[in-house]
């Protein structure tokens, strides 16, 4: 078996896809439209005959060792030909239509930009800038409409916390824009929202300050309440003081001390992982208890790395959530403010230089009917 077919299931069976894959790999890297045509008219129909969907086929090709096109480029070429099979008859240079196909999802908007480029005699740089400016304008309009910086992708980066949300200088303060986005995507009007580790009251501030969430009801607890809205409770010791099946949504941001750093002289990764997972299990069990069927949990977690290796807490939490009857609903990455990935100093005998994590993961789950 050749190296180029070792990891391709269909190829291992002497599939009719083998010669098609070789032809795809023979395309030049700048022949986007022709490659898209070949994918749409030849490769994908052949894959469907073998029970392989288009997305799966593109992914499998991109994973073949030595294959020159990454998955995203294959998708771009597919879209390019799908949207513009008549590109040779259109008035603008081909690269304009590649830009439109890969950056603009709505057909009416692509037509609008095409007319704009023709009438304004735009260069490709002009068109790219116009699309970027319109996207930024759209984001600003949405911010005005909803009252916060609404994100549309799965990396939520905020340079500074919105001063309306949370208390300045509070240790571990989460930008309230992250809470606002979570409430926007994962809650419904009229829902009861619970923050059992409320810190400086950011969740409550968002609900009180943003009119879009005015119909949500907020309940907050913390071991050391920052103001009168937050009730005192150590949920690890006494549980969540709410009735079973009474809450629609739980936002859970454990303090940074919750997770091990791995820098202590007597640090034991196995013991640290067990201790953290025991606490997380207590939190998730209580969350499942108070959530209604169909209710949701959002929890912030981060991986921990060091000379001992990696403790992938997001992965472990996902496994635990499934065991407790919570099904994954979403994942978002939150870059840490003011921090960049950096190489951790390593000691004698350590062969691997490890990067410090610069992102926390915001995982969201939904409670199903069959809770364990």
DSSP one-letter string for 115-169: HHHHHTT--HHHHHHHHHHHHHHHHHHHHHHHSS----SSB---SS--TTSS-TT
Predicted local confidence at residue 358, as pLDDT: 74
Residue 130 and residue 192 in one domain? no
Question: What DSSP letter does each residue of 33-81 carry, written as one string?
Answer: HHHHHHIIIIIHHHHHHTT--HHHHHHHHHTSTT--S-HHHHHHHHHHH
Q: Does residue 156 lie in a domain region? A: no
**Domain count of the chain?**
2
Question: What DSSP letter does each residue of 240-273 carry, written as one string?
Answer: --S-TT-EEEEEE---GGGS--S-STT--HHHHH
Predicted local confidence at residue 80, as pLDDT: 96
Q: pLDDT tens digits, the chain, 372 residues: what are they?
A: 334 444 444 443 457 899 999 999 999 988 999 999 999 999 999 999 999 999 999 999 999 999 999 999 999 999 999 999 999 999 999 999 999 999 998 999 999 999 999 999 999 999 999 999 888 777 777 777 888 988 988 999 988 888 899 988 888 889 999 999 999 999 999 999 999 999 999 999 999 999 999 999 999 999 999 899 999 999 999 999 999 999 999 999 998 888 887 666 677 888 889 999 999 999 999 999 999 999 999 999 998 887 777 889 999 999 999 999 999 999 999 987 654 444 444 455 544 455 556 789 999 999 987 655
Rounded CA gap, 171 and 71, in Å?
Answer: 41
Residue 130 and residue 183 in one domain? no
Residue 236 and residue 94 in one domain? no
Predicted local confidence at residue 21, as pLDDT: 94
Predicted local confidence at residue 281, as pLDDT: 96
Whether this model's pTM surpasses 0.75 = no
Predicted local confidence at residue 9, as pLDDT: 42
Residue 325 and residue 195 in one domain? yes
Q: How far is CA 89 from CA 32, 93, 116, 144, in A?
A: 16, 10, 18, 41
Predicted local confidence at residue 127, as pLDDT: 95
Residue 204 and residue 86 in one domain? no
Are 225 and 231 in contact, with CB atoms under 8 Å apart? yes
Residue 191 and residue 129 in one domain? no
| CATH code where residue 248 lies | 3.40.50.150
Boundaries of domain holding 14: 3-137
Predicted local confidence at residue 339, as pLDDT: 45
Residue 42 and residue 129 in one domain? yes
Q: Does residue 216 lie in a domain region? A: yes
Predicted local confidence at residue 355, as pLDDT: 53
Query: How many residues does this entry show for the chain?
Result: 372
Rounded CA gap, 190 and 353, in Å?
Answer: 49
Q: For tokens 């023709």, what's the residue? A: 118
Residue 51 and residue 187 in one domain? no
């Amino acid at each position: 078996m050749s190296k180029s077919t070792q990891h391709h299931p269909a190829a291992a069976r002497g599939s009719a896809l083998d010669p098609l894959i070789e032809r795809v790999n023979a395309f030049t890297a700048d022949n986007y439209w022709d490659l898209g045509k070949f994918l749409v008219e030849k490769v994908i129909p052949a894959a469907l005959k073998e029970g392989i969907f288009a997305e799966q086929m593109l992914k499998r090709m991109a994973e073949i060792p030595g294959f020159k096109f990454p998955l995203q480029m294959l998708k771009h070429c597919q879209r390019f030909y799908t949207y513009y099979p008549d590109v040779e008859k259109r008035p603008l240079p081909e690269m304009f239509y590649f830009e439109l196909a890969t950056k603009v999802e709505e057909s009416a908007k692509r037509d609008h930009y095409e007319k704009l480029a023709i009438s304004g005699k735009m260069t490709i740089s002009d068109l790219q800038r116009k699309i970027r400016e319109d996207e930024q304008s759209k984001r600003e309009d949405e911010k005005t409409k909803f009252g916060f910086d609404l994100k549309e992708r799965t990396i939520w980066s905020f340079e500074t916390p919105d001063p309306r949300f949370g208390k300045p200088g509070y240790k571990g303060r989460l930008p309230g824009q992250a809470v606002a986005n979570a409430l926007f995507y994962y809650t419904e009007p009229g829902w009861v929202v619970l923050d059992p580790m409320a810190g400086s009251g950011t969740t409550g501030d968002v609900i009180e300050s943003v009119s879009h969430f005015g119909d949500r009801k907020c309940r907050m607890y913390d071991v050391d309440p920052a103001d009168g809205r937050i009730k005192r409770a150590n949920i690890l010791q006494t549980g969540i003081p709410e009735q079973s099946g009474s809450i629609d949504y739980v936002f859970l941001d454990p303090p940074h001390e919750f997770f091990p750093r791995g820098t202590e002289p007597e640090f034991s990764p196995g013991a640290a992982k067990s201790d953290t997972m025991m606490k997380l299990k207590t939190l998730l069990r209580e969350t499942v208890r108070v959530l209604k069927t169909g209710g949701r949990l959002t929890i912030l977690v981060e991986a921990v790395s060091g000379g001992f290796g990696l403790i992938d807490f997001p992965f472990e939490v996902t496994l635990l959530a499934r065991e407790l009857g919570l099904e994954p609903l979403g994942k978002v990455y939150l870059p840490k403010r003011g921090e960049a990935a950096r190489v951790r100093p390593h000691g004698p005998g350590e062969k691997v230089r490890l990067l410090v994590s610069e992102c926390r993961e915001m995982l969201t789950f939904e409670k199903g009917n069959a809770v364990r």
